[in-house]
């Protein structure tokens, strides 16, 4: 999963781009639900939120490191295909 850092400027550009609805407005900044973020595996070649974020504040979450296979398995579960 990816994570949004406190450099987020609350621009709301990333939220509608997420194919898994993993991004929402948190108390202070936008947040990513690691249970829903597949790093866009299953949908796109590149993480869409990273592509659009104007301040580049969405790195990999070191607390939620996953292999492509794990991300693919998560995609199948949340999309109802597994």
Q: Can you tell me the distance from the alpha carbon of 41 to that of 22, in angstroms, rounded to the nearest whole number?
A: 13
75 interacts with ligand SF4 by CB under 6 A:
no
Q: Does 35 bind ligand SF4 (CB under 6 A)?
A: no
Q: Where are the alpha helices (DSSP H) in 2-67?
A: 48-52
Question: Does residue 53 touch ligand SF4 according to CB under 6 A?
Answer: yes
Helix or strand run (H / E) with residue 33 = none
Q: How far is the CB of 26 from ligand SF4 (least distance, A)?
A: 10
Q: Does 66 bind ligand SF4 (CB under 6 A)?
A: no
**Other C-beta atoms lying within 10 Å of the C-beta of residue 82:** 10
Residue 76 CA to residue 29 CA, distance in Å, equals 29
57 binds ligand SF4 (CB under 6 A): yes
Residues found near ligand SF4 in the complex (CB under 6 A):
2, 4, 8-14, 17-18, 20, 22-23, 30, 32, 37-40, 47-49, 52-53, 55, 57-58
């Amino acid at each position: 999963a990816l994570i949004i850092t406190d450099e987020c400027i609350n621009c709301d550009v990333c939220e509608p781009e997420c194919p898994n609805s993993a991004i929402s407005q948190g108390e202070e900044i936008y947040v990513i639900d690691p249970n829903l973020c597949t790093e866009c595996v299953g949908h796109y070649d590149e993480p869409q939120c990273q592509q659009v974020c104007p301040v580049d504040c969405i790195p990999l979450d070191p607390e939620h490191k996953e292999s492509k296979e794990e991300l693919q398995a998560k995609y199948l579960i949340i999309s109802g295909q597994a």
